[in-house]
Amino acid sequence: MNSIDDVVASIKAHKPQGRPAEMRAAFAALVGPQPAAEDVAIGPAGGLAVGSGPTLLWFHGGGFVFGAPETHVALARAIAAAGVRVVLPRYRLAPEHPWPAMLDDALAAIDAVPGPVMIGGDSAGGQLALCAARRRTVRGVAVLSPNTDRTGASRTRKPLSARDLMNDDAGDAALAREAFGDRPGDDPDVSPWRSDLSGIAALHIEVGTEEVLLGDSLLLAEAAVLAGVPTALHMTPGLFHLAALWPDAVPGAAAQLARLGAFARDAAG
């Protein structure tokens, strides 16, 4: 896509809704054609990789119901431009495979990389990275607009639902029910900002100011700082949820991904 107008038109034309298969097809159409990537054997089901340098495992978003490595290659390439190899592991999706199936797959992917590795993800993939980081030693965690709060503590989910082009509170909650069922909102996997974050070596958070999940990032950043985690939070004015899926078309999106890539490169030591 060549412009923000193209992106907005695609979002309006391909809203993920209906059955899971329909949502997956709509999301793939929404993001549009992706660049080529290398097939890699990692975790239970493999994945895709782009770039060269230290490895950053990046878990794709999509509410744990849709999305795939194939929908996130443009985003991954923009991160990789900072000098890292971005690997997009494939993980099982709900409702066919509810939580913790995707967490088990993420941990298997981390275990497949020798030594500590950087991990990250966008939206639900950022939530997945945060949950995995509590269970494995990693060099750093880089997240883009992560889901972190299902307790109702966030003050932006409902107010920004009418302004966020890609997300709204009701739809986000419906996806969470598919993945987590009746798990309570204060479960540390369901709301990672309430978990013990002290074992994270370093954390970088990117979010837009027009996002339903802006409050999720604010809660996460505060909790991480209070836990003693070196934390950076960057809020880009005007960006909607996952605008970075179109780094060449949405102003400000490429800069988000460049900062995430630089963090991952520097965290590698």
Given this model, what pLDDT does residue 19 score? Answer: 96
- What are 25's two structure tokens? 């097809």
- What are 191's two structure tokens? 């709301």
The stretch 263-268 carries a mean pLDDT of 95
Given this model, what pLDDT does residue 269 score? Answer: 77
Catalytic (active-site) positions: 123, 211, 241
Confidence of residue 115 (pLDDT cuts 50, 70, 90): confident
Length of the chain: 269
Given this model, what pLDDT does residue 191 score? Answer: 98
Confidence of residue 71 (pLDDT cuts 50, 70, 90): very high
Q: Would the pLDDT of 207 be above 90?
A: yes
Confidence of residue 225 (pLDDT cuts 50, 70, 90): very high
Q: Render pLDDT for 22-67 as a digit per residue (tens, 0 to 9).
A: 999 999 999 999 999 999 999 999 999 999 999 999 999 999 999 9
Give the whole-angstrom CA distance, residue 102 versus residue 90. 9
Peptide bond into 20 cis (omega under 30): no
Average pLDDT of the chain, as a whole number? 97
Give the whole-angstrom CA distance, residue 117 versus residue 136. 10
Q: Could you tell me the residue range of the domain that residue 65 belongs to?
A: 4-267
More confident residue, 269 or 123: 123
Q: Check: pTM over 0.75? Answer yes or no.
A: yes
Given this model, what pLDDT does residue 73 score? Answer: 98
- What are 187's two structure tokens? 């479960």
Burial level of 151, CB count in 10 A (0-12/13-18/19+)?
middle
Q: What is the CATH number of the domain that holds 143?
A: 3.40.50.1820
Question: Cα 110 from chain centroid?
Answer: 16
Backbone φ and ψ for 105, nearest 5 degrees, come out as -70, -40
Contact yes or no for 118/139 (Cβ under 8 A): yes
Give the whole-angstrom CA distance, residue 213 versus residue 174. 15
Count: domains in the chain = 1
Give the whole-angstrom CA distance, residue 5 versus residue 187. 39
Q: Render pLDDT for 158-197 as a digit per residue (tens, 0 to 9).
A: 999 999 999 999 999 999 999 999 999 999 999 999 999 9
The stretch 136-156 carries a mean pLDDT of 98
